[in-house]
Structure 1
Amino acid sequence: MTTNHDAGSAHADLAEYVARWVELFNARDRAALDGLYEADAVVVPRPGYPVTGAERAAALADFMGLGVPMKAALRQAYIANDIALLVIEWSLTGTGPDGREIDMGGTATDVARRGADGQWRYVIDNPSGVAT
């Protein structure tokens, strides 16, 4: 179930945003995926190690390089004006390019901001959520 404290079209937009992120990730479209982030956005590829800029792009490329499809669903969205806290359940399951089985997943806690153009973009992408 998804919770939304701003019961308008913003919640549906955020669910579509998450679905679009997954679509681009699975298509391995790094350039388009990067467009779903603010220029100075932070990605936390592993707990306690936030990265931005070129390191952010490299972390996302490494994640895509696992070569297995992602599934993700928006579980909760809390919206205050143009800022949203997203709680997302995700998983990566399959056989990687090296033949190794991959089975990982978690509950992401992410922050997105709606720009002047009406589009949501990640400010913080934290796939591990509160995991340490």
Structure 2
Amino acid sequence: MFPVVTDPAKLPVLFQDALNAGDIDGVLALFAPDAGMRTVAGEHIAGAEALRTEIGGTVAAGGRLTNVSRHTLVGADTALLVTDWTLEIDGPGGERIAPTGTTANVARRDADGGWRFTVLNPLGTA
């Protein structure tokens, strides 16, 4: 079980570390129960099962994520996290590819004081 994340700026690194360890449950623990995501393919998904499928596919493809935070903006119980990322992954033909991008993610502080992702948008403003 993941500890309560008291600083939203830590979420991208915790996500990176859990994904790189192949810890799908650890990644999912960083999401609010009603979270949604825009995938790198541009599809909008929501809910624990859809998120598990997406994260599981990334792990199965040998995903290796590097996140570098640009900034975290906090207002009340909501945070905007802007992060540059590189994801090394096995491409469709078995070749190793490394797409990059900048996220525009949203997190909120829950009743337990912990921060969790509510919206992930790895495509940022694209």
Q: TM-score range by the shorter chain?
A: 0.7 to 0.9
- Structure showing greater radius of gyration is 1
Evaluate the alpha carbon distance shift between residue 94 and residue 76 of structure 1 in structure 2; reply closer, same or farther with a 3 A threshold. Answer: same
Q: Distance in 1 between matches of 2:113 and 2:41?
A: 30
What are the superposed Cα offsets for residues 7-28 of structure 1, whole Å, 9 maximum, x if unpaired? xxxxx92232221111001011
Q: Runs of at least 4 residues of structure 1 off by over 4 A?
A: none
Q: Is the 8 A contact 2:108 2:116 kept in 1?
A: yes
Does residue 78 of structure 1 match 2:73? yes
Structure 1: 5+ residue stretches without partners: 1-11
Give the superposed CA RMSD: 2.2
Evaluate the alpha carbon distance shift between residue 130 and residue 103 of structure 1 in structure 2; reply closer, same or farther with a 3 A threshold. Answer: same
Instruction: Decide which moves more: 73-82 or 13-22.
Output: 13-22
TM-score by length of 1: 0.80
1:94 is displaced (CA, Å) by 5.9
Q: Which residue of 1 aligns with 2:56?
A: 61
Q: How many residues align?
A: 120
Does residue 29 of structure 1 match 2:23? yes
Q: Secondary structure at the match of 2:103?
A: strand
Evaluate the alpha carbon distance shift between residue 25 and residue 100 of structure 1 in structure 2; reply closer, same or farther with a 3 A threshold. Answer: same
1:117 is displaced (CA, Å) by 1.5
Q: Is the 8 A contact 1:68 1:102 kept in 2?
A: no
Q: Distance in 2 between matches of 1:122 and 1:94?
A: 23
Structure 2: 5+ residue stretches without partners: 1-5
Q: Distance in 1 between matches of 2:89 and 2:28?
A: 24
* Amino acid paired to 2:106: V
Q: Secondary structure at the match of 2:79?
A: strand
1:50 is displaced (CA, Å) by 1.2
TM-score by length of 2: 0.84
